Amino acid sequence: MVVCDTSPICYLILIGETDLLPALFESVIIPTGVKDELMAEQNYGLIQAWIEAPPDWLSIQLVPQLIDNLPTKLGRGEREAISLAVSLQASLIILDDWETRQAAISQSLTVTGLLGVLFRAGTERLLDFPSAIGRLQQTSFRASPMLIQQFLDRYARVMGKQP
């Protein structure tokens, strides 16, 4: 069971790879705050259309109770995603923002980001990882070039494409 934040879903939609989530994880859950943030993506009709008719594999849940001691800088979706992951004892939470990741780690959650999801999908041969990274770089996704190169190098090593 994994809980996902807004940003990773947005970018998976934009690069046409949302079906990776059910292929990689048994259960994918978002809180209502994330759904509302996806609905508010006015610059991307594709994202709004996707969440207006969510796939069967996506579960949208109310958060039973928000965690009190999360940083105030976190957005609604981030706070709800962390709180929901804690309440459900999720095996993983997918977050991209560094501060949000730190808040999730402080709650003893296991965290990955979009690059980690794409990397795993690539190593499981569900997609061509370098091609997915190329498509991701055509969006507004931001990660340091060094981090992206580290993922590409690691992928090449794991897949035996580098000495």
Give the 3-state DSSP-derived string for 77-123, with helices as H, strands as E and coil as C: HHHHHHHHHHHHCCCEEECCCHHHHHHHHHCCCCEECHHHHHHHHHH
Contact of 121 with 129, CB cutoff 8 Å:
yes
Q: What is the pLDDT of residue 160?
A: 87
What is the structure's pLDDT at 162?
59
Name residue, tokens 């989530």. Answer: 21
Kindly report the CATH number assigned to the domain that includes residue 35: 3.40.50.1010
Q: What's the predicted TM-score (pTM) here? A: 0.93
128: Cα separation from own chain's centroid? 18
114, 95 Cβ separation under 8 angstroms = no
Which residue has 């095996």 as its token pair?
91
Averaged confidence pLDDT in the chain: 94
Domain count, the chain: 1
Q: Which residues of the chain have pLDDT under 70?
A: 43, 162-163
Listed in sequence order, the DSSP H helices in the chain are 6-14, 20-24, 32-39, 45-52, 76-88, 98-106, 114-123, 129-137, 145-158
Domain with 110 in it: 1-163
The single residue listed with the structure tokens 């296991």 is: 110
What pLDDT shows up at residue 41? 81
**Phi–psi pair at 22, nearest 5 degrees:** -70, -20
**pLDDT at residue 163 in the model:** 47
Give me the phi and psi of 59, to 5 degrees please. Answer: -105, 130
